[in-house]
Amino acid sequence: MHSLTTRHLLGIKDLSTSDIELILETAKEFKEVINRPIKKVPSLRDITIANVFFENSTRTRLSFELAEKRLSADVINFSSASSSVKKGETLLDTVNNILSMKVDMVVMRHSSPGAPHFLAKNIKANVINAGDGTHEHPTQALLDAFSMQEKLGDLTGKKIAIIGDVLHSRVALSNIFCLQKLGAEVRVCGPATLIPKYFPELGIKVMYDVREALAWCDVANVLRIQLERQQLKYFPSLREYTLYFGINKKMLDELNKEIVLMHPGPINRGVELSSDAADSHHSIVLNQVENGVAVRMAVLYLLAQN
Ligand code: CP
């Protein structure tokens, strides 16, 4: 099969395993393209894409913009902080006004879970979820899986630990759906207060000892403590969090095995990861960012066919 079963990318939950495999295979080809001296292809010439960001972003926004430009699309960027949303304009009015300028695809980040699903029901353009609140971040999961495959090959039976603030993380849920569909075994690790109560129903084992989680896994995907989403106190202090769940290079070196360290960014250096761990030979954090462009090119290219 050479096309996706969907016209939108709203979450990994809705993708079939063959959809995921097609995106990852296509991304391999685009990674070759962006490493050539001439990095641009004409695939999306005459397609116009709006990047509509209602929440802050560095990696995702820049990566989508670069992916779109590498595919020769026309690109417009919208940031709610400097827009008429500040004057009270609704989400649908905002997007319909952008679409009236003949936009074909919308890449949207929003703090409300389900906002891209709402948009997909109400507009004709293809919609790509660039992160909706604490729900899903599908392109992050795809670039994470791509980066893991580059290091480990086939992910069937590979052991992946997702460590940290799982409760507030859209990366965790998308990673779990993606990795399970690719045959990996996924566990989560963190303080009990930062693990959703329904996780055992997803077939996910919860670990509370970070050293045990590191000893178990092939890949540690470490999550940021998202203080901006925490209305309650989930742990006594950042210092105490770091004492019990922070990861440093010595802990990784002492494992006496190969371990791949990942983080979606932005990193709270000195909290969930020490600088010496984040910058160590175990870490593939910057490879993840590089792969994000190729994976997003694949997503945009494939959705534009539907
Ligand atoms: N990983 C990620 O989504 O980073 P940004 O918030 O900077 O886009």
Statement to judge: residues 89 and 201 lie in one domain? no
In degrees, rounded to 5, the angle at the alpha carbon of residue 128 between the alpha carbons of residues 287 and 199 is 75
Residue located nearest, by CA, to atom 5 of ligand 1 = 57
Burial class (CB in 10 A: 0-12, 13-18, 19+), 2: exposed
Whether 4 is covered by a domain: the verdict is no
Residue located nearest, by CA, to atom 3 of ligand 1 = 60
Specify the CATH number for the domain of residue 272: 3.40.50.1370
Whether 87 is covered by a domain: the verdict is yes
Q: Are 58 and 289 in contact (CB under 8 A)?
A: no
**60 is a catalytic site residue:** yes
Statement to judge: residues 163 and 247 lie in one domain? yes
Say if residue 91's pLDDT is above 90. Answer: yes
Say if residue 231's pLDDT is above 80. Answer: no
| Pocket around ligand 1 at a 6 A CB cut-off | 57-60, 131, 140, 264-266
Statement to judge: residues 118 and 21 lie in one domain? yes
**31 is a catalytic site residue:** no
Say if residue 229's pLDDT is above 90. Answer: no
Residue that the structure tokens 């480990």 belong to: 152
Statement to judge: residues 227 and 151 lie in one domain? yes
- pLDDT score, position 299: 98
Residue located nearest, by CA, to atom 1 of ligand 1 = 264
- pLDDT score, position 1: 53
Cis peptide before 236 (omega within 30 of 0): no
Determine which one of 26, 60, 134, 139 is catalytic.
Answer: 60
176: domain range? 138-285
Whether 3 is covered by a domain: the verdict is no
Whether 6 is covered by a domain: the verdict is no
Determine which one of 8, 31, 70, 109 is catalytic.
Answer: 109
